[in-house]
Structure 1
């Protein structure tokens, strides 16, 4: 029985699938199976997958008729036999030592349930500044503590880098279907259940950014979809951590921030007011100038400003005021 089951869904990936599969076959760790899940491809992808399966007994070819990477992932999970589950995308490249290093880490750290890694970003598009900034951010932290703190900023571990214990699937389930990014929801669910996650602080995957990537084409990966699922799990987190729950103060009083803050209210949180660099920026609720923030212990602050660089300035401002991240405030954008 293999130690690792690599789940690799594909849909119309004839130009990239072979390289992705070969990168897994060339792993220095050898106890694995690869589950190739065809999700109704209409190009030459299926023939490429069949060719690999015929040549290598470690490869199993499966078919998932329900369209969507969430259904394909669950098909792989239901058919996996390894102690560990590795995720892989059909348009990325895993470095040869990826599985070896990740399996070793989980074996040496039994308290950790999921491990990812940093990524090497490879762009195939113009105007990719946002993605590059995300990669810089996601490659800037790796500890369990930081992943827990930054979970509501963005997905904390790049999905095709993850390796996790089979028992997590058995206990917490696989991908859920809905109007949200399924990979982010799964990580938030694992973290909500107390699963410790980590990343190896080195690139173990080439993350290729094509125009066909789901994060660019599927509405479930829109900014609003991310905020919807953040709001749902932030409410659950606030119940356990926020001493003033359900009361919060939102840092950011701009129109977009106020719109997204309404998602928190829909989940039952009560916004006491907004904090901004402009006093009285909105008349909807009290707007407090940031210089008038009281000492720690009098409010819980949720910074939601999305402007590039603003979040770190806000974070540093609060830390200088002796606010404790994860206790007195947490970033949510």
Structure 2
């Protein structure tokens, strides 16, 4: 078997049939579908028992991480693909991701662009996030932007089985399990890329875990990446542990405190407004930023429009992402 598709399922009786249809319609034949039923109570279990062509693991309800890791333990494929029970694959999805990994032996994990399966007006924030992850397809762009937000839709990825034994599987804790895995593997040197095509429809129902579980809150994402961001800076910041942070608002300073607890020293905050903070760290205006050879600058402004303006300004000043500045 070449590919194992791992799909944890919990109370998905209304969507699972179409998801399985999209997997059975794949043009790639050497594939098994491992479905882990995580103690469903809505009829999903009974529906799955009547399905042909799947490996069904029935488990008590423990959550997504134990379900994922049980699926991984049962998988026999050389490549592991993820899928969720409310999303849809294009028929060529598995074939194109296998071809990508076969042609790029230096890449350990391959995602793809995704179609947003929601209402762009009612769910504008999520739609903007989908547009952002779809803009990141090259390994370097993915690596340099991984501290902004998670650069992959979880059900869109396929990775080499050997990464699990080398760097570990999913971890359970107060954090998004997929983002933590990407950050941990990239910190270990795993290169990640994407097939530059929309190969899945990523739906956004109200019940999606990323909308309902505190492990996927903004604060949980930031706490997850703070440790790995600090480790990246240890390796790549010539001025370590000193950094300057663009952004001086309350939320930015709250998150900067997490980095300070890791051991970073914030020499200045940067803001377009003159501010007096209730701390010893001075605030300077953009025109007062020293030259790129003198500092490492972290932009922690969350607004996407502002992020682009900051990037343009710093680039004109000679700053380079990954060398003298980083967005997070």
TM-score (norm 1): 0.96
* Residue 264 (structure 2) pairs with residue 269 (structure 1): yes
Shift of 1:64: 3.1
Distance of aligned partners of 1:125 and 1:292 in 2 relative to their CA distance in 1, 3 Å threshold = closer
> Residue in 1 aligned with 2:67?
72
Runs of 4 or more above 6 Å deviation: none
> Residue in 1 aligned with 2:294?
298
Distance in 1 between residues matched to 2:36 and 2:200, nearest whole Å: 20
> Residue in 1 aligned with 2:252?
257
Count of residue pairs brought into register by the alignment:
327
Distance in 2 between residues matched to 1:17 and 1:280, nearest whole Å: 53
1:177 alignment partner, SS class: coil
1:13 alignment partner, SS class: coil
| Correspondent of 2:303 among 304, 307, 310 | 307
2:245 alignment partner, SS class: strand
Distance in 1 between residues matched to 2:12 and 2:78, nearest whole Å: 28
Mean alpha-carbon deviation: is it higher for 262-271 or for 209-218? 262-271
Distance in 2 between residues matched to 1:108 and 1:189, nearest whole Å: 24
Distance of aligned partners of 1:89 and 1:162 in 2 relative to their CA distance in 1, 3 Å threshold = same
| Correspondent of 2:198 among 197, 203, 214 | 203
Shift of 1:243: 0.7
* Residue 37 (structure 2) pairs with residue 33 (structure 1): no
Stretches of structure 1 that go unaligned for 5 or more consecutive residues are: none
Is this contact kept in 1: 2:271–2:284, CA < 8 A?
A: yes
> Residue in 2 aligned with 1:239?
234
Is this contact kept in 1: 2:36–2:58, CA < 8 A?
A: yes
* Residue 217 (structure 2) pairs with residue 222 (structure 1): yes
Shift of 1:266: 1.4
Stretches of structure 2 that go unaligned for 5 or more consecutive residues are: none
Distance in 2 between residues matched to 1:91 and 1:286, nearest whole Å: 49
> Residue in 2 aligned with 1:109?
104
Distance of aligned partners of 1:66 and 1:268 in 2 relative to their CA distance in 1, 3 Å threshold = farther
Distance in 2 between residues matched to 1:283 and 1:269, nearest whole Å: 19
Distance in 1 between residues matched to 2:59 and 2:188, nearest whole Å: 29
Distance of aligned partners of 1:126 and 1:13 in 2 relative to their CA distance in 1, 3 Å threshold = farther
1:20 alignment partner, SS class: helix
Is this contact kept in 1: 2:245–2:266, CA < 8 A?
A: yes
Shift of 1:126: 6.8
Shift of 1:66: 5.2
Mean alpha-carbon deviation: is it higher for 203-212 or for 262-271? 262-271
> Residue in 2 aligned with 1:190?
185
Distance in 1 between residues matched to 2:273 and 2:71, nearest whole Å: 51
Distance of aligned partners of 1:125 and 1:69 in 2 relative to their CA distance in 1, 3 Å threshold = farther
> Residue in 2 aligned with 1:17?
16
Distance in 2 between residues matched to 1:242 and 1:113, nearest whole Å: 26
Mean alpha-carbon deviation: is it higher for 274-283 or for 8-17? 274-283
2:293 alignment partner, SS class: coil
Is this contact kept in 2: 1:125–1:211, CA < 8 A?
A: no
Deviations 1:284-323 (A, max 9, x none): 2100101111111111111011123111111111111111
Deviations 1:112-138 (A, max 9, x none): 100000000011697311101101111
Distance in 2 between residues matched to 1:239 and 1:19, nearest whole Å: 47
> Residue in 2 aligned with 1:324?
320
Shift of 1:147: 0.4
2:135 alignment partner, SS class: coil
Distance in 2 between residues matched to 1:220 and 1:189, nearest whole Å: 17
> Residue in 1 aligned with 2:113?
118
1:150-165 equivalences in 2 (<5 Å)? 150-165=145-160
TM-score (norm 2): 0.97
RMSD: 1.2
1:139 alignment partner, SS class: helix
